[in-house]
Amino acid sequence: MRNDILIRQETHKDYKEIISLILRSFSEGTDYSDGTDIIALVEEIRDSEYYIPELSFVAELDGKLVGHFLFSRFPLSSTPNGVHIDDREEKNIVMLAPVAVHADHFHQGIGSAMLTQGIEKVRNAGYKGITVEGDYHFYNRIGFKTSSKFNIYPTSGIPMKEPRCMMCQETYEGALKNIKGYIVYDMYFNA
């Protein structure tokens, strides 16, 4: 694991550089996005009641921005069609999205290093669990497991290639034991 990656809270001064980083990361690193929808999602999260400024990060290497990621509050739904649970437990889960590594630094261990540090900050902030949708080959390496193992289920509205793409991680053993529900992104137009 790399120990030369510094993560810090994003600031308004970083926003222009974050946009550029996300555009290159997604247009050069994925076959499903040119990054514009991801930028729209970031802006939508920042403008929502779910935004947690202290858990929105940039990663630096030698003083240069090489990554961006954020965690936001994420209410589970009690049904697959989007009725959100309204109790204290749902406020203890965050969503990790989006995650971007600068295209000049792909496959150098930066994503793993920055997320490992970020997950520790989520744990220290007192949250019980983290949801993420993405490449299970990558996320399994940093401790995420298929969400259904925690009684948290994807809905039919999520265009996943396969169910293992929806994952969760407990911040401590047994943290998600009494929490269950469905992942529904209906609070975001750009999700």
> Whole-angstrom distance between the N-terminal and C-terminal Cα of the chain?
30
pLDDT value of position 184? 84
Q: Is the peptide bond before 75 cis (omega within 30 degrees of 0)?
A: no
- Any residues with CB less than 8 A from the CB of 61 and at least 6 apart, and which? 4, 5, 6, 105, 110
pLDDT value of position 73? 93
- pLDDT, tens digit, 9 for 90 and up, residues 122-149: 999 999 999 999 899 999 999 999 999 9
Cα atoms in the 13 Å half-sphere on the side-chain side of 171: 19
Q: DSSP string spanning the chain?
A: --S--EEEE--GGGHHHHHHHHHHHHHHH-SS--SHHHHHHHHHHHTSTTEEEEEEEEEEETTEEEEEEEEEE-PPBSSTT--B--STGGGGEEEEEEEEE-GGGTTSSHHHHHHHHHHHHHHHTT--EEEEES-HHHHGGGT-EEGGGGTEEE-TTS--SSGGGEEEEESSTTTTTT--EEE--TT-TT-
Percent of the chain with pLDDT over 70: 91
Low-confidence ranges of the chain (pLDDT < 50): 87-89
pLDDT value of position 85? 58
Q: DSSP string spanning 139-169?
A: HGGGT-EEGGGGTEEE-TTS--SSGGGEEEE
**What's the pTM value of the predicted model, to 2 decimals?**
0.91
pLDDT value of position 78? 83
Domains and CATH numbers, the chain: 6-183 (3.40.630.30)
pLDDT value of position 88? 44
CB 79 within 8 A of CB 71: no
